[in-house]
Amino acid sequence: MRQALTLAINRPELHQVLNLPAGLPILDVVPTNGQIRRGEIPDPLPYDPERAKRLLDVAGWRDVDKNGVRTRNGKPYRFVVLTVSDEREKAAVYIQAQLRKVGIRMDIQTMDWSGVQAHVTAGTFEAAMVHMNRNFTSPIGLLWLFGPESALGYVNPKVITLFNKGRETLDPDEVDRIHREAMPIFQADLPVTFLYPSIETMVASRRVRGLSSPYHADIVRYMEDLWIEE
């Protein structure tokens, strides 16, 4: 189901709807900062609504009444997504229209961020649109999100074992290896659908060299790759 939902969303077009820069990376995995910087990111699932429909059919969710809504055992495929009144609400409206095309009804409930956070932390939600802080690229942050007490309900023993190993090492090459091993698991399970990356504005003197978008735009994160032109 998570693959079907992701396949039904045209993420490059969503970026255009949100007026984001062209060519932003699309992720189905959680890479390290170094892997992001080096572009070592596997290809994400494409926009493929026909494949999404086939997966839904196989799972037993079919438009039996030919009214545009899929059902299984008499229950419509319908859920509520929690979001806040910023660009995420605009994204939710776009996604709502995308899912409708494959026979899924998604209702939108807006509230303040503290309310969304409370529901996500307690696990009392069907779907939620949240920002993943960059700290989640660390094994410790990932264990909070995907560990044995995950609010998302995603528990994969292999993933937990890998990120526990990552928490015990300070070797960046070993952390990269652990993330690479976890990537195919994430792509198969898709515990989350990454919609768009956060966009930040950086201002630097022209003397600072080595900056470029999207992988070398953060002055603090990639300081070891920068130099000052005399």
Chain segment 14-23, per-residue pLDDT in tens: 999 999 988 8
Per-residue pLDDT of 111-136, as tens digits, reads 999 999 899 888 899 999 988 765 55
Which range, 35-39, 56-60, 128-132, 165-169, has the best average confidence (pLDDT)? 56-60
Q: How confident is the model at residue 94 (pLDDT cuts 50, 70, 90)?
A: very high
Same-domain check for residues 19 and 72: yes
Query: What are the beta bridge partners of residue 115?
Result: none
Q: How confident is the model at residue 87 (pLDDT cuts 50, 70, 90)?
A: confident
Looking at per-residue confidence, does 172 or 45 come out higher? 45
Q: Whole-angstrom Cα distance, residue 30 to residue 218?
A: 18
Q: Which structural domain range is residue 226 located in?
A: 204-230
Same-domain check for residues 172 and 216: no
Same-domain check for residues 172 and 223: no
Looking at per-residue confidence, does 95 or 150 come out higher? 95
Strand ranges (DSSP E) for the chain? 71-72, 75-76, 78-83, 105-110, 127-128, 208-209, 227-228
Same-domain check for residues 170 and 228: no
Q: In what order do the strands lie in the sheet with 78-83?
A: 105-110, 78-83, 127-128
Same-domain check for residues 78 and 152: yes
Q: Is the pLDDT of residue 73 over 90?
A: yes
Number of domains in the chain: 2
Same-domain check for residues 174 and 214: no
Same-domain check for residues 47 and 126: yes
Contact 5, 52 (CB under 8 A): yes
Same-domain check for residues 12 and 63: yes
Same-domain check for residues 191 and 220: no
Same-domain check for residues 182 and 78: yes
